[in-house]
Amino acid sequence: MNELLNKRIVLGLSGGIACYKAAELCRALVKAGAQVQVVMTQAATQFITPVTMQALSNQPVFESQWDERAPNNMAHINLTRQADLILVAPASADFMAKLLHGRADDLLSLMCLARPTASTQLVLAPAMNREMWSHPATQRNVEQLRSDGAHVLGVGAGEQACGETGDGRMLEPLEILQDVISLLTPKDLVGQQILLTAGPTFEALDPVRGLTNRSSGKMGYALAQSAHQRGAQVLLVSGPTHLTPPRGVRVIQVESALQMHQAVMAHVNESDVFIACAAVADWRATKPAEHKLKKNDQQSPPIFELMPNPDILADVCKSEKALRGQLFCVGFAAETENLEQNAKIKLNRKGAQVILGNLAQNTLGRDDNTLLWVDANGSFEMPNNTKAALASEVMRLIAQRLR
């Protein structure tokens, strides 16, 4: 993961039990390529030690506005001038109230007030008891902070450290990470409606067994997430996977190729881009058994009559909107040999603008991939990388083509 490569993030911790999540969040930000500088309030040090955060960020932790390590004794200025983003996680009710009124009596609040607003975004991840979160004063503060230009994230729901249950939990670290990536990603797909398919399909032979494949859905989900991060409105039609739906993406869950075809065709006319990433079964049983087929040593194995499934990509490329040139169509070619040759054949046969080829044996179920971009102008390889990084590059290229 290098989505945050060369980004400078100040991670601020105010007081709250959710500070324990800040350790994992810091690790995730670093893993994504960011340079992380941790700043803690005195209250935060009651919940997690600066030593822990220093070890995870590989940077000295700042706690006081009087820190003499700053040559000019102005850490609140020095630490913000090169930062791309200040992320306060957790942001307590008290800390948000302080920001609302422009109070600045510690290093973290000083930094938030002194940051150059044109170049350094402020992101707050609230964390508090459910009653504190729902209190009218807190909700007024949240709305005013947003009006003042801060990005106040939502909260999670569930069990809280106090023993109560409800809204107010800080979002999980990976959820916050995705929101940070979104904020720092160029918005070159704003106004675009993108329709994607992902994952395998399952074609029932009986109520238990079926025809499917080893697709994990990771590439399609990464594309959906990247498209959302770039500002697009995204609808993902997903076959059965164990993946968590991407944040901010609308998902329609389906099982069979027929269901996927129906869902896709129902939304083609409202889309500007269609990406067929799903590994759709080519055939289905003509007559699936009504009950589970039992093994009987005295009988021969059952014989299934198969019929072809609809070709989703081809049908989309033949749709009225596509034929008018108003729909950009991208397909995937999962091959085991002759990748470029087969991808070019598929490009011509389907009528898509782009085919992304990959070798199935090198990608199914994995977190990395190597892609071959094929269009009417030729082809080029996208070298092995994480699927998230490749998805970002694919969406950048699509945005470029749309312009």
> To 10 degrees, what angle do helices 19-31 and 173-183 make?
50
- Asked if residue 2 belongs to a domain, the reply is no
Domain match, 39 and 95 both = yes
Query: According to the model, what pLDDT value does residue 77 have?
Result: 77
Q: What pLDDT, on a 0 to 100 scale, did the predictor assign at position 92?
A: 96
Residues 127 and 232 in one domain: no
Which two tokens mark 140?
């007024």
pLDDT of 298 reads: 65
Instruction: Print the domain residue range for 338.
Output: 193-402
Q: Does 342 lie in the same domain as 203?
A: yes
Residue 18's CB is within 10 A of a number of other CB atoms, namely 28
Residues 82, 172: one domain?
yes
| 250 and 121 within one domain | no
Q: Does a structural domain hold residue 1?
A: no
Last residue of a domain, one of 183, 203, 219: 183
Evaluate whether residue 267 is within a structural domain. yes
Same domain, 204 and 162: no
For the entire predicted model, the pTM comes to: 0.87
- Asked if the structure places residue 376 within a domain, the reply is yes
Domain with residue 25: its CATH number is 3.40.50.1950
pLDDT in the model for residue 33: 92
Rounded to whole angstroms, how far apart are CA atoms 195 and 307? 27
Determine, yes or no, domain membership for 305: yes
Q: Where are the alpha helices (DSSP H) in 32-172?
A: 50-57, 75-81, 93-100, 107-114, 130-134, 136-147
Q: Write out the two tokens for 317.
A: 């490329």
Has residue 303 been placed in a domain? yes
Looking at the structure, tell me whether residues 164 and 224 fall in a common domain: no
What is the enclosing helix (H) or strand (E) of 169? strand 165-169
Q: Residues 174, 197: one domain?
A: no
Residue 389 backbone phi and psi in degrees, to 5: -65, -40
Single out the residue in 125, 154, 183 at which a domain terminates: 183
Domain count, the chain: 2
Q: How far is Cα 393 from Cα 66, in angstroms, rounded to an integer?
A: 44
385: CATH: 3.40.50.10300
- Among 137, 152, 183, the domain-final residue is 183
Question: Domain for residue 188, yes or no?
Answer: no
pLDDT string in tens for the chain (403-residue length): 578 989 999 999 999 999 999 999 999 999 999 999 999 999 999 999 999 999 999 999 999 887 777 777 677 777 888 899 999 999 999 999 999 999 989 999 999 999 999 999 999 999 999 999 999 999 999 999 999 999 999 999 998 888 888 899 999 999 999 999 999 999 999 999 999 999 999 999 999 999 999 999 999 999 999 999 999 999 999 999 999 999 899 999 999 999 999 999 999 999 999 999 999 999 999 999 999 988 876 678 888 999 999 999 999 999 999 999 999 999 999 999 999 999 999 999 999 999 999 998 888 889 899 999 999 999 999 999 999 989 999 999 999 999 8
As beta bridge partners, residue 369 has 385
Instruction: List, by residue number, the catalytic residues.
Output: 162
